[in-house]
Amino acid sequence: MSYVIDPSPVASLPIEGESSRFPVRRIYCIGRNYADHAREMGHDPNREPPFFFLKPADTILEAGRDFPYPPGTTDVHHEIEMVVALKSGGRDIAEADALSHVYGYGIGLDMTRRDLQGEAKKLGRPWDVAKGFDHSAPCTALVPAVRIGHPTKGRVWLNVNGETRQQGDLSDLIWSIPEMIAYVSRLFELKGGDIIMTGTPAGVGAVRRGDVMEGGVEGVGTIKVKVV
């Protein structure tokens, strides 16, 4: 097939310990999936169904690279999350079958221009400029589920310059991984290459140029990113 311009490279993530890479199709992010974080954002976690927003695939920033402070903002926040990578998909996936579609897991940061998100909320506008900017999804290499299973508990944490900012546990997720996959599949047709960012615990906050973010998910791995 020929194109009138050269197509952009396929966004991808490395696989830990392998030379092959995982092609990224879409990035689905679940909002307010830890009760404490929902409360710190001014919401009642017991009264709302799950909701999702998307980041473009090319917002992926491979772990080990610096995070460039984005334009148009003075309030960029960190949100540490476990990442679920799908090897297959479909529509109306049953919860009981959901984990069979998972390739593996990683750790990501849902970087957010919080001031622009606040303005969008006040005006009833989409969050795209707050969530989908360039390099807004730093991610680690993926670890296949055949190696580590399907994590349901384990510490989730983030330090900034050595100071603990975020801390929670996968067991605190309001919506489980099978529930998330099943729910999204009722709204979109999921496919291999899709990634789900599973939500962040309480303690989100601003970063500045020169800050070093270091965090992880117990049993999955760690991530370290410098803001430049």
Domains and CATH numbers, the chain: 12-226 (3.90.850.10)
Over residues 121-165, the pLDDT tens digits come to 999 999 999 999 999 999 999 999 999 999 999 999 999 999 999
Tally of helices (H runs) and strands (E runs) in the chain: 6, 17
Angstrom distance (rounded) from CA 41 to CA 11: 31
Over residues 47-100, the pLDDT tens digits come to 578 889 999 999 999 988 999 999 999 999 999 999 999 999 999 999 999 999
Confidence band for 24, pLDDT divided at 50, 70 and 90: very high
Would the pTM count as exceeding 0.85?
A: yes
Angstrom distance (rounded) from CA 18 to CA 2: 32
